[in-house]
Structure 1
């Protein structure tokens, strides 16, 4: 659902669902970080990326590349 709302450009609803998820994996985090970065919400993307690391989600190179397409 998070991915679907992100694809439609509704980051607000995607974030609501994301925040309510009891557990998040690398894919879910990457979808949210990437969607924020693609919408130009770089500060929000950075905050989410930091939260992902704090949540002990193992970040791989693919997640970084997908999350930061404009770097």
Structure 2
């Protein structure tokens, strides 16, 4: 059974691609090997998406192109 990581005390890091403005900001929680918890910085109490390491790496590769 897959379980979501405990994210109650996690430190979120804003994307290095963020322009520093109030829009289009993505935050990633570090310290969860094998997963990449992601949220919208404008909605910190909103939903959190948890990606596996391989799909997240693929996403990052496409974003960097």
| TM-score class normalised by the smaller sequence | under 0.3
- Structure 1 or 2: larger strand share? 2
- Structure 1 or 2: larger helix share? 1
Q: Which of the two has higher C-alpha Rg?
A: 2
User: Does 1 or 2 have the higher relative contact order (CA < 8 Å, sep 6+)?
Assistant: 1
TM superposition score normalised by structure 1: 0.26
TM superposition score normalised by structure 2: 0.28
